[in-house]
Structure formats: C-alpha cells, structure tokens
Amino acid sequence: MGSHEENLKGNREYAEHFTLGHLPTPPAKKLAIVACMDARLTVEQILALKTGDAHIIRNAGGLVTDDVLRSLVISSHLLGTRTYYVIQHTDCGMLTFTDQDLRDQLKAKTGHDASHLHFHTFSNLEESVRKQVETIRNYPFLIPGTDVHGFIYDVHTGKLQEIAEGEACAASLSS
C-alpha cells in the first residue's frame, strides 16, 4: 500500500471516532504560532496543545512573510488571538543554502530562470528569530498590546529556548 492509500485509510479510521466537530472557530488559548514546516517539529506536542487551542501557521524556516502577516491579521482581528509565538529550530535546512544556491539549482534542473524567486534563507538562527519577532511587533495592522515571543526548538533535546523576551506589539505605543 502506498503512502496515499495509507493516508486515506488513516483518515477513514480517524473519521470513525471523530469527536471534535463541536469546537469553535476561535482558538481556545487565543494563541497563534508561526513555525517551521520541518517534520521533526510537532508544535502541538512541544507546547502541550490540543486541537482547537491555537492557530498554527507553518512555512519553510518559520518566517514572518507577507502571507503570515495576512493570517495573523485575520487571526487577531476576526478570531481573537492575543499572543503570538515564533518557533524556529536547530539543524534547520534554511541554514544550509543561500537563495542564490537554490536559484542556480532550479535553473540547472528545470531550465527556467529563477532569479525572481526569494526563499528568505538565513545564516544565524537566533538573529532570524529576533527578526521575525520584530516584524510582528512592528506591523501596524495587528491588535495593540498583543504579546509576542520567539523560540528556538532543539530537535535533539525537545527543549524550547526563548530568544526574544515577550513584549507587546509596537502598535500599542501609538494608541
């Protein structure tokens, strides 16, 4: 049985015992998390969260991109989140190449020009976490007073290390 068939079989078994249809749309803990897509990072387990507790937004690197900010605006203004976490991790693939490296690989493999693509790689994990947190704090369309924290997850120990001390969004200063 292939992966696709296994996944569909797993979903049928899950649906037979499904009991979460009553959960409300807003996250119970008023929490939104931006995290890397790395398969070793299971956000719910790391933070002891249950289904319905938090919005979890994942991408390569756990980066606060325009699309992440769009999601955070919806999460805060329409669904009540008031705390944001950024979680990046040790041994992240985004530390192992540059944007230009990947552009060159894509050009060689596909024959198409990739010079317009931006992958937002980084070379310093702690600095990247701080940058993501600052991007959230300084974004003018988020709810004033939102609490923001940045973490590095150690994929070898399972521990979180807080990097950027929690502070409210800068928008609260102009209110």
Instruction: Report the C-alpha gap between 30 and 54 in whole angstroms.
Output: 7
Q: What is the pLDDT along the chain (175 residues), one digit of tens a residue?
A: 899 999 999 999 999 999 999 999 999 999 999 999 999 999 999 999 999 999 999 999 999 999 999 999 999 999 999 999 999 999 999 999 999 999 999 999 999 999 999 999 999 999 999 999 999 999 999 998 899 999 999 999 999 999 956 555 654 333 3
Q: Six-digit token pair at 84?
A: 């944001």
C-alpha radius of gyration, the chain, whole number: 18
Judge whether 82 and 147 are in contact, CB under 8 Å: yes
Strand-pair category, 147-153 with 160-168: antiparallel
Nearest alpha carbon to residue 81 among 18, 12, 25, 1:
25
Identify the pLDDT of residue 1. Answer: 81
Q: Which amino acid is at 42?
A: T
* Dist CA 2 CA 108 (whole Å): 30
In this prediction the pTM is: 0.91
In the chain, what are the domain boundaries? 3-92+124-174
Tally the residues of the chain: 175
Instruction: Tell me the two tokens of residue 175.
Output: 């209110």
Q: What is 3-92+124-174's CATH topology?
A: Beta-carbonic Anhydrase; Chain A (3.40.1050)
